[in-house]
């Protein structure tokens, strides 16, 4: 098993106590563009989600982990989604909740830990990400972690003002 502990952060499974943290993230309209969300989530729905979060990645085809700092404070979420055993690939996504916790290396460290987990524990051959072309910070983060732009989806997302292109990035196991 790969260690999900870094120098400044660690990744952990979802807990019932994460209800308010996830509720705040899922209902922060400034983050909706990142997750393609258009409607708020109730505490009831998030509680149901947490109640089912014990499902194995092979069953659920996804895994959400909480990013915590060394003070055990939850600062973000990192996801594996579209887990495909046959083709040994999955999508990955990350979100650091507060501006004050961004650009401190937490996202880089969390992504490195997750990629290591995907390649060494899940035995994936590749991971990919979908990132809007205006999201320069995420593009830098993923490209800095060995992802390559392999395609662009034209006019993929409507951001309220116009359509935005989205890059498809990929990292294949060395």
CATH code of 47's domain = 3.40.630.30
**Tokens 């992802």, located at residue:** 147
Domain that holds residue 119: 9-124
| pLDDT tens figures, 53-106 | 877 888 888 999 999 999 999 999 999 999 999 999 999 999 999 999 999 999
Note whether 67 and 11 are within 8 A (CB). Answer: yes
Domain-embedded: residue 171? no
Give the CA dihedral 140, 144, 149, 150, nearest 10 degrees: -160
Domain-embedded: residue 42? yes
Beta strands in the chain (DSSP E): 9-13, 63-69, 74-84, 89-96, 126-132, 148-158, 163-172
- Tally of domains within the chain: 1
| pLDDT tens figures, 145-173 | 999 999 999 999 887 789 999 999 999 99
Q: Give the pLDDT band of residue 2 (cuts 50, 70, 90).
A: low
Domain-embedded: residue 145? no
Pairing of strands 126-132, 89-96: parallel
């Amino acid at each position: 098993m790969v260690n999900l502990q870094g120098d400044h952060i660690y990744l952990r499974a979802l807990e019932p106590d994460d209800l308010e943290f996830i509720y705040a993230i899922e209902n922060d309209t400034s983050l909706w563009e990142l997750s393609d969300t258009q409607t708020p989530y109730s505490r009831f729905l998030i509680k149901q989600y947490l109640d089912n979060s014990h499902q194995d990645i092979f069953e659920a085809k996804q895994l959400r982990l909480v990013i915590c700092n060394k003070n055990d404070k939850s600062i973000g979420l990192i996801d594996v989604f579209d887990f495909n055993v046959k083709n040994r690939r999955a999508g990955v996504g990350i979100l650091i909740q507060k501006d004050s916790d961004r650009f401190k290396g937490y996202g880089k460290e969390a992504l490195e830990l997750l990629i290591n987990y995907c390649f060494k524990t899940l035995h994936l051959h590749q991971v990919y990400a979908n990132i809007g072309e205006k999201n320069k910070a995420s593009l830098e983060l993923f490209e800095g972690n060995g992802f390559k732009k392999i395609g662009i989806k034209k006019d993929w997302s409507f951001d309220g003002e116009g359509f935005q292109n989205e890059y498809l990035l990929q990292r294949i196991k060395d």
